[in-house]
Amino acid sequence: MHLSPLDITVVVLYAIFIFVLAQVVSREKKGHEKTSKDYFLASRALPWWAIGTSLIAANISAEQIIGMSGSGYAIGLGIASYEWMAALTLLIVGVFFLPVFLKNEIYTMPEFLKRRYGPNIQFVMAIFWLALYVFVNLTSILWLGATAFSTVTGLTQQQSIVVLAAFTGAYALYGGLKAIALTDVVQVSMLVLGGMVILFISLTHISGDVSFFGALHGFSVLLAKVPNDHFHMILKPENPFYKDLPGLSVIFGGMWVANLSYWGFNQYIIQRGLAAKNIHEAQKGIVLAAFLKLLIPVLVVVPGIAAILIAPGIKNDQAYPTLMTLLPHGLLGIVFAALIAAIIASLGSKVNSIATIFTMDVFKTFNKAASEKKLVLTGRITAITALVIAVIVAKPLLGGFDQAFQYIQEFSGFFTPGITVIFLLGLFWKRTTEAGAIAAAIGSVALSVFYKFTLPDVPFMNRMGYIFLICLGLAVAASLLQKPKPENVTVDVTHVDYSTTMPFKIASGAIVAILIALYATWW
């Protein structure tokens, strides 16, 4: 696959537009010096449309697009549960978690832990998240994004890494979260446009009729000719991919642990909600993101399934790149620009979250009198440092893995059950103590390692569910054994208004109805 001069022109114009837009939206009013609230939380003034699109832009990167399409090719529609159940999770986050965080004007998730449990756990979890974000998440987005970038451009892997990191720094460092979130509207628009192009080309290629009705006919052919189990959402135990998607666990089991941790307590994601004007603006953004999550599998997984008829016998993760070869020049440039948009948006979001946690939870802890100017400068230096580290360590850390993304998910899953327990009890059980939180954190890692090596046949998703329940018990027991220290608790989790507007209720009802219809149809 090679880009033509027309494709290159499209990509270059996109890059210039995003860079200029980021600088324009980053400008402050004359005489106003950017504060830490401006830089890290976009002045707490993000509108709903920026919150919703930025949530998706932070979440979806090139490896998810290529990986989900490849899973559609191998497994089928079942992989869409990751997206569709996330839509329901977002509603829960909007109703029950964000009201607490916004009422208490939380900057970061470690700050919440400090104000709920005490300073020790704040510092420990801040260091943990920084290590995870820099050496696992940021590095993986850069490495796997560069893999897609180098495949199309012909640049080497390391050259692609440097180009992506440099562009991310150029557009995201000056403006902070405001520049990232407001440009994410364009990034997600590109992502949706690119997905629609691939979907249309795939379905019309199957039908042989390049029209809207040809696409509909192509989908009907897909339903008729693709193996029947590729359109089942709930896999049966005899399915060869049952271990990846263990039946009803995707609805009632361990997937909830991962989803609640990722969408509710992950600085990288929740920071958009923390930057909202108010709770109702945040909830409107949450609804937009939930509707987009319903759409993503249609744009990514369905083309992967279509590749079964278009290119049988290819490797799973070649499904999306193979479909890109069907595109005429010009459209190829648009789809490739959409891939770049996904990569850059995720990198920018991750870098900003790293800068936020280090500045507010580490640097400010030891420099309480630091000026706003110094905090913003520290954030920018941290962001640059994180990008440089990721560029240097990407190949040594991930270059030897055939399936880097799977290893990353496995590593992150060691901590997910404990994190979910710590936050859920911190939000909804006043009796939880720091000892309980620490017991959940240690238990999560220890039990995950134990399960991994002694019961390797237990599906990863089920393992997270079992460990969550055990860690919940450990946290409750340890909390009851420790005398509460009310003086350590400065976050209000009791006098919180959980009410929602009627439009939010109607939109949430529509999302739930769509999910019920989807699962009832493709059960």
Cβ contact 498:101 at 8 Å: no
pLDDT score, position 421: 97
* Residue 487 is assigned to a structural domain of this protein: no
Residue 426 lies in a domain: no
> Low-confidence residues of the chain, pLDDT below 70?
1, 31-32, 400-410
Read off the tokens for 415.
Answer: 């901590």
Q: Dihedral (C-alpha) 79, 82, 83, 86: value to the nearest 10 degrees? A: 160
114 domain-assigned: yes
The confidence score (pLDDT) of residue 32 equals 67
pLDDT, residue 265, reads 94
CATH number, position 318: 1.20.1730.10
Helix (H) or strand (E) holding 467: helix 460-481
Number of domains composing the chain:
1
Q: Which residues, listed in sequence order, are joined to residue 46 by a DSSP beta bridge?
A: 276
- Distance of alpha carbon 150 from its chain centroid, rounded? 23
Q: Which residues of 480-509 are buried (b: 16+ CB within 10 A; e: fewer)?
A: eebeeeeeebebebeebeeebeeebeebbe
Q: Is residue 140 part of a domain?
A: yes
Task: Break the chain down into helix, strand, coil percent, rounded to 5.
Answer: 80, 0, 20
Distance CA 110, CA 435 (A): 16
Which pLDDT value is given to residue 179? 84
Does residue 489 lie in a domain region?
no
Model pLDDT, residue 152? 79
- Nearest Cα to 111, choosing from 310, 363, 286, 484? 363
| 428: in domain | no
pLDDT at 439: 94
Q: 53 lies in which domain range?
A: 5-28+42-405
* Structural domain includes residue 480: no
Position 401 scores a pLDDT of 56
Query: Tell me, what's the pLDDT at 86?
Result: 94
Contacts of 358 (CB under 8 A, 6+ apart): 126, 130, 378, 379, 382
Burial-class residue 107 by CB neighbours within 10 Å (0-12, 13-18, 19+).
Answer: buried
What are the Cα distances from residue 222, in Å, to 76, 84, 169, 227, 327?
12, 21, 43, 9, 20
Res 413: pLDDT: 80
pLDDT attached to residue 31:
64
Predicted local distance difference test score (pLDDT) of residue 203? 94
pLDDT for 408:
65
